[in-house]
Chains A and B, each alone.
Chain A
């Protein structure tokens, strides 16, 4: 697929023709020494006309130097070294922080796809973190009515998440225990690298319905989303008291994480719905290649960069007066909108190229906005059709509303009518949905010509609490304490 290849084991960088230049740069798991070589590669690339993407990617490869030197450990190695995985994660953070002077939400460089992302920090990982290749997202209903039990579960989950994101096994591991008893860890991630696994928890509006004494802590921004025109929401794929977003570069690692959390949660929570995603559709490293959605278009070119501290503070992280009163516990958190958007790929594929490009307001090859040459050229909205997707979604059309998107494509087989059950699992983070997703989606739902080819079939909103600060902290402490 036309994305950054993230296979550190294959530094040769595969290379479908036009992309070999930028692919070889970030692919380099073992490349810190060869970073200058990557530089040469980009210099040789201008002919491809896509240089601006490859250059910063190479920069990231350099940033990864301190960690990449050690090469990411396998899960067994991590265990054998006992905590070395965490130390390595710290090395990644330290190295990158030195270069970027960041405030704790340091993204692990894209190139370092086997590494561990630090779990602790002021914000949860998995938001500003460079988007990984794979997703397993799960929404849970809380089935216990006992607040103390729920709190204990959140603590248990936090401890398990600390271990799994570091590449370690849950509890006492996957083997070697009592032969008469099932092992603590399910074992399918044994021998795999941490794969930049991030686990991000969220709390849905329904958690604040009074069962757990949280009514007076529901932030004003944690609203029920309005019904948008054209929505065809399946309740069985919507809502949820809790969610966990698992992102990783290896699907097995993401699935293992959700499976083990679900297992720890049985009796206290029940999986309400879940979604697998296989191809990121946006990137928080927008200087790198923007990935394409299943319609074949680059969408999300203007996404907020994980390194854009100011943009994140303005649009993503809750703080200041937004973190007062009932929302005080949200200081450092964010709000996540999840939408399962079904794409009618068969009808789309029968649509003429010119019409496809008109619908998005971009050209298909380069992703350049109408009338421009390069993907990242500033779009001239008036040149686009008034009902084009990019024009309607653009911040300028929505009073500056800006979302951090980290959606994924999904394909859940076939739908029984022979059509691909596929689409976009849209995930967007923002500091307030009332000024973020809601105005944008209102304008899109009303007029977007793309609506002919898509349908929103699942929806959920979650308050994403701040990060877990250290070993003594846990997911949701500020809310429940």
Chain B
């Protein structure tokens, strides 16, 4: 999880502030006709300046003339999201950009940010030799959706082994079940994070709490229990309650995973984000600072990234075979490096990160950089 997470309220306020700032700067260049599509959003209408535009790089300039905060989407006909911009305050302007292939789309304004919104049919014409969205991409998204759901489904029973041990007051059993209970979550974390509210409940670290939040009351989830087990070495009533809460929050996650918005680029960038998680939290040993099971999370993050990559490979290979070859090589290299820290390749018992020395951590960090840098180019290879 990210070190600092905005609460929903702060995030909305920040976004509104940003939107306001953007609104000011946007005014100056709104006059030039550079192919920008103007969208005027009101409480009961969504006026689009062009119904047809050439495929390629598309820019929407949105002005909210309504009284409610709104959001604007570009959608595929099946409701999948091409791009979106939330929290556009009344009287402010904002812009969205997207790389769009030829085909039919909808632009939606959502006054009050609820419901299906007000839809406008639009069409991207010509461009890219009339390339349509490929069935391969749709297949990749569908398969990834299944993967995410399967990971979530498989996580619940493993979490229950962990939380049952906590409820039974069995510290040793709980410690044993802890890391394993997190694997499915770690493999699919960018999807979980896309909901915004679940991640802070289940995966926040103590330093992720905001000023004014009380660790005793407001800190929930895996890492709170990790601290109880490894640092405080005791399970009390509060911990047992927290085990129940964790079950409940993760059950909510499992229910919502199926509705997550997934696109080929979000899969590609999600893969890169998993490596970012490794680079910022695992390599440093911050994530599992009490249990030192960082390498388990590390492995799970890499596996999740590799899943996205494998599913996107048919598309990416067509556009950038060199990149695909490089990624295969770097995934293999990083996996080989990780295997040094476990005796049995079928198990998730890894060396405690406490025992991984500085030069070895540097080696792991170099391996992550070697993979993450080309992985950041995967989304371009997918949309090209």
> What 1/0 flags go to B264-285 for Cβ under 8 Å of A?
0100110000000000000000
Query: Once the chains bind, are B369 and A266 in contact (CB under 8 Å)?
Result: yes
A181 to B268, CA, bound (A): 10
> What 1/0 flags go to B353-364 for Cβ under 8 Å of A?
000001000100
Residues of chain A with a CB closer than 8 A to B269's CB: 180
Query: Once the chains bind, are B369 and A179 in contact (CB under 8 Å)?
Result: no
Q: Which of B362, B371, B383 contacts A267 (CB 8 A)?
A: B371
Residues of chain A with a CB closer than 8 A to B384's CB: 178
Residue in chain A with minimal CB distance to B383: A180
Residues of chain A with a CB closer than 8 A to B383's CB: 178, 180-181
Query: Once the chains bind, are A267 and B369 in contact (CB under 8 Å)?
Result: yes
Residue A263 at the chain B interface, CB threshold 8 Å? yes
Residue B352 at the chain A interface, CB threshold 8 Å? no
Residue A210 at the chain B interface, CB threshold 8 Å? no
Residues of chain A with a CB closer than 8 A to B57's CB: 179
Residues of chain A with a CB closer than 8 A to B371's CB: 267
Residue in chain B with minimal CB distance to A143: B366
A281 to B330, CA, bound (A): 42
Residue A345 at the chain B interface, CB threshold 8 Å? no
Residue in chain A with minimal CB distance to B266: A180
Residues of chain B with a CB closer than 8 A to A182's CB: 376-377
A177 to B384, CA, bound (A): 11
Residues of chain B with a CB closer than 8 A to A236's CB: 358
B41 to chain A minimum Cβ distance, whole angstroms, is: 21
Residue B98 at the chain A interface, CB threshold 8 Å? yes
Residue in chain B with minimal CB distance to A141: B366
Interface residues of A in 68-95 (CB under 8 A from B): none
Task: Count A-B contacts at CB 8 Å.
Answer: 47
Query: Once the chains bind, are A267 and B379 in contact (CB under 8 Å)?
Result: no
Residues of chain A with a CB closer than 8 A to B377's CB: 181-182
Residue B99 at the chain A interface, CB threshold 8 Å? yes
Residue A150 at the chain B interface, CB threshold 8 Å? no
Interface residues of A in 284-303 (CB under 8 A from B): none
Q: Which of A141, A178, A268 contacts B99 (CB 8 A)?
A: A178
A143 to B369, CA, bound (A): 12
Residue A450 at the chain B interface, CB threshold 8 Å? no
- State the majority secondary structure of interface residues on A: loop
Residue A438 at the chain B interface, CB threshold 8 Å? no
Residues of chain A with a CB closer than 8 A to B380's CB: 177-178, 180-181
Query: Once the chains bind, are A179 and B99 in contact (CB under 8 Å)?
Result: yes
Residues of chain B with a CB closer than 8 A to A270's CB: 362, 366, 369-370
Query: Once the chains bind, are A180 and B265 in contact (CB under 8 Å)?
Result: yes
Total count of chain B residues near the partner, CB < 8 A: 25
A48 to B134, CA, bound (A): 77
A267 to B328, CA, bound (A): 12
A180 to B373, CA, bound (A): 14
Query: Once the chains bind, are B97 and A179 in contact (CB under 8 Å)?
Result: yes
Residues of chain A with a CB closer than 8 A to B370's CB: 143, 266-268, 270
Residues of chain B with a CB closer than 8 A to A178's CB: 99, 379-380, 383-384
A180 to B382, CA, bound (A): 10
Residue in chain A with minimal CB distance to B376: A182
A383 to B97, CA, bound (A): 74
A243 to B240, CA, bound (A): 55
Query: Once the chains bind, are B373 and A263 in contact (CB under 8 Å)?
Result: yes
Query: Once the chains bind, are A267 and B374 in contact (CB under 8 Å)?
Result: yes
B374 to chain A minimum Cβ distance, whole angstroms, is: 7
A435 to chain B minimum Cβ distance, whole angstroms, is: 35
Interface centre among A143, A177, A266, A270 (most CB of B within 10 A): A266
Query: Once the chains bind, are B326 and A267 in contact (CB under 8 Å)?
Result: yes
Q: Which of B98, B366, B373 contacts A179 (CB 8 A)?
A: B98
> What 1/0 flags go to A142-180 for Cβ under 8 Å of B?
010000000000000000000000000000000001111
Query: Once the chains bind, are B379 and A181 in contact (CB under 8 Å)?
Result: yes
Residue in chain A with minimal CB distance to B96: A179
A236 to B362, CA, bound (A): 10
A145 to B128, CA, bound (A): 39
A130 to chain B minimum Cβ distance, whole angstroms, is: 35
Residues of chain A with a CB closer than 8 A to B97's CB: 179
Interface centre among B99, B268, B326, B358 (most CB of A within 10 A): B99
> What 1/0 flags go to A264-291 for Cβ under 8 Å of B?
0011101000000000000000000000
Taking A143-B366, A179-B99, A180-B99 as contacts, is the C-beta distance between A266 and B373 under 8 angstroms? yes
A130 to B284, CA, bound (A): 41
Query: Once the chains bind, are B374 and A181 in contact (CB under 8 Å)?
Result: no
Query: Once the chains bind, are A267 and B376 in contact (CB under 8 Å)?
Result: no
A181 to B264, CA, bound (A): 13
Residues of B within 8 A of A (CB): 57, 97-99, 265, 268-269, 326, 330, 358, 362, 366, 369-374, 376-377, 379-380, 382-384
15 A-B residue pairs with CB within 8 Å: A143-B370, A178-B379, A178-B383, A180-B265, A180-B382, A180-B383, A181-B377, A182-B376, A236-B358, A267-B326, A267-B330, A267-B369, A267-B370, A267-B371, A270-B370
Among all A-B residue pairs, the 10 with the closest Cβ atoms: A181-B380, A267-B370, A270-B366, A266-B373, A180-B379, A266-B369, A180-B265, A182-B376, A178-B380, A179-B97
Residues of A within 8 A of B (CB): 141, 143, 177-182, 236, 263, 266-268, 270
Other A-B pairs beyond A143-B366, A180-B379, A266-B369, 9, CB < 8 Å: A143-B370, A179-B97, A179-B98, A180-B380, A267-B370, A267-B373, A268-B370, A270-B369, A270-B370
